[in-house]
């Protein structure tokens, strides 16, 4: 019997490792489970961290889980019917080592990933405006509502929340190879803006104005998902993101301006005031 239990507990780290390797190498049936290929360089950094921490985790799991399987077989009382258990209650050297090594690994991990976080969420891209480096203004104001997404393009003046904004529902078109900054606001409850391919997610909080940015390096059309429970229709709150070549983007915007009919005033009514909470981002 002890063999069975030992085998069962060996299975945990072994099967976990095998399925993990199958998933990162895209082997059936786990090919479907991979994250979709990243469409941005920031996404590749995040994937590197994701896989790196997992490799570390799997190694720790193999070590500890394997030891559990071994212990159950090796120290079963039926293998050793006469003797007694060894009487010891601690081992200072061993304990020092297994405290120090994980501590070093954890502190290393903590510092190693800070750059990726700050690039994705803290340091907004900049552009040169008449020789002065300024933060890239938002190209699109994204408004989340129960249960859909509105995209307000900045229009001719290049500034969102002005009269010449162009409003489209359900489809966001952005150019490839450019820094795109989005301004996120909510009309009602909390939503969350999630594009798996861009490794981009940000809760959209009513009463707050937040910025996210990305630089897509391939053209594609992908899903935008809501990942914060927002009511009964949460599951169907979807939109599409289309990444196109810059030239095609120009054409799209021109076409949009040419045929644009402003929707009813009530539909795009701006809140009269917006209590802006700073999301750690300095604004211009």
Partner 1 sequence: MTEISTDDASSVAGRSPNRLRRFLTSYVFSTDHKVIGIQFLFSSLIWLGIGGLLALAVRWQLAWPWSNMPLFGNALFADNGGQISPEFYNTLFTMHATIMIFFVVIPILSGAFGNYLIPLMIGAEDMAFPTLNMVSYWFMWPAFVCVIAMLMVPGYGASSGWTSYPPLSVLEGATSTETAQTLWVMALLFVGISSMMGAINYLTTIIQMRAPGMTMFRMPMTVWAMFVTALMQAFALPVLTSALLMQLSDQIFQTGFFLPENASANNMASASGGGQVLLWQHLFWFYSHPAVYIMILPAMGMVSDMLACFSRKPLFGYKPMVFSILSIASLGFIVWGHHMFISGMSRMLAVSFMVSTMLIALPSGIKVFNWIGTMWGGRLHLTTPMLFSVGFVSMFIIGGLSGIVMAAPPVDIVIHDTYYIVAHLHYVLFGSSILGVFGAIYFWFPKMFGRMMSDGLGKIHFFLTFIFLNGTFFPMHFLGRMPRRLADPYVYDSLKDLMPLNQFMTICAFCMGATQLIFVGNFFFSMFFGKRAEENPWRSNTLEWTATSPPPHGNFLTQPVVSRGPYEYSHPDRESDFWPQTDRV
Residue 23 Cβ vs partner 1, minimum distance, rounded to whole Å: 5
Angle at 192 between CA 224 and CA 263, to 5 degrees: 65
CB nearer to partner 1: give 6 or 176: 6
CB nearer to partner 1: give 49 or 166: 49
- Which has the closest alpha carbon to 173: 257, 241, 254, 226? 241
Q: Please give the biggest Cα pair distance in the chain.
A: 92
Residue 149 Cβ vs partner 1, minimum distance, rounded to whole Å: 14
CB nearer to partner 1: give 130 or 266: 266
Residue 32 Cβ vs partner 1, minimum distance, rounded to whole Å: 4
HSE (CB half, 13 Å, CA atoms) of 244?
Answer: 15
CB nearer to partner 1: give 12 or 256: 12
Distance CA 48, CA 54 (A): 10
Query: Burial, 44: exposed, middle or buried (Cβ in 10 Å; 0-12, 13-18, 19+)?
Result: middle
Query: Burial, 230: exposed, middle or buried (Cβ in 10 Å; 0-12, 13-18, 19+)?
Result: buried
Residue 272 Cβ vs partner 1, minimum distance, rounded to whole Å: 7
CB nearer to partner 1: give 63 or 177: 63
Helix or strand run (H / E) with residue 18: helix 2-25
Residue 163 Cβ vs partner 1, minimum distance, rounded to whole Å: 20
Residue 56 Cβ vs partner 1, minimum distance, rounded to whole Å: 8
**Token reading at 157:** 């003046």
CB nearer to partner 1: give 20 or 260: 20
Q: Is 123 left (phi over 0), alpha (psi -120 to 50) or beta?
A: beta
């Amino acid at each position: 019997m002890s063999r069975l239990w030992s085998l069962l507990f060996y299975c945990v780290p072994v099967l976990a490792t095998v399925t993990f390797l199958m998933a990162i190498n895209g082997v059936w049936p786990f090919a479907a489970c991979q994250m979709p290929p990243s469409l941005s360089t920031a996404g590749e950094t995040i994937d590197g961290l994701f896989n790196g921490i997992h490799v570390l985790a799997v190694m720790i799991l193999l070590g500890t889980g394997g030891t559990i399987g071994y212990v159950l077989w090796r120290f079963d009382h039926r293998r050793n019917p006469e003797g007694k258990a060894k009487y010891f209650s601690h081992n200072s050297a061993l304990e020092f080592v297994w405290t120090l090594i994980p501590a070093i690994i954890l502190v290393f991990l903590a510092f190693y990933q800070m750059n990726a976080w700050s690039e994705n969420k803290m340091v907004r891209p900049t552009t040169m405006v008449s020789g002065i480096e300024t933060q890239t203004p938002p190209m699109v104001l994204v408004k989340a509502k129960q249960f859909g997404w509105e995209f307000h393009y900045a229009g001719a003046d290049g500034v969102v929340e002005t009269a010449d904004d162009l409003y489209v529902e359900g489809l966001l078109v952005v150019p490839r190879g450019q820094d795109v900054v989005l301004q996120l606001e909510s009309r009602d409850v909390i939503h969350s803006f999630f594009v798996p391919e861009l490794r981009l997610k940000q809760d959209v909080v009513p009463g707050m104005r937040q910025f996210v940015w990305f630089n897509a390096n391939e053209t594609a059309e992908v899903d935008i998902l809501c990942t914060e429970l927002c009511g009964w229709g949460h599951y169907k709150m979807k939109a599409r993101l289309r990444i196109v070549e810059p030239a095609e983007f120009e054409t799209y915007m021109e076409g949009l301006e040419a045929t644009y009919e402003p929707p009813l005033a009530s539909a795009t009514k701006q809140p009269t005031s917006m209590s802006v909470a700073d999301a750690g981002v300095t604004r211009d």
